[in-house]
Amino acid sequence: MAQLEYDVIFISYSQAGYINSDCNEITFLNLGTATANVESVPLMINQSMTVNGNSCEHTSKQFQLTFTNSGSQTQNLVVIRKVYTNA
């Protein structure tokens, strides 16, 4: 069986909207001071959430992102995606 190759993609979001997954694994990391809500799951400062897939699995789910912001808080959600390049 051939070895699977993958790439890791990092993207920062500072506005509410939808995040396209199109990957095997996705991690959400809140580096802002505002609470980031991914599909209504609140992520406080420096908290993260990972959705794992088994080998060769793929998801195309769109995750909804909102922020709970009071005043001068910063909005910064980093998304890390594991994407197969030869599957």
Question: pLDDT tens digits, residue range 29-87?
Answer: 999 999 999 999 999 999 999 999 998 899 999 999 999 987 889 999 999 999 999 86
CA distances from 20 to 8, 37, 45, 59 (A): 15, 15, 22, 9
What is the model's pTM? 0.93
Looking at residue 1, its pLDDT comes to 59
Say if CB 43 and CB 50 are below 8 A apart. Answer: no
CATH number, span 6-84:
2.60.120.10
* Residue linked to tokens 């060769």: 56
Whole-angstrom distance, CA of residue 26 vs CA of residue 81 = 5
Cα dihedral 11, 15, 19, 25, rounded to 10, equals 40
Domains in the chain: boundaries: 6-84
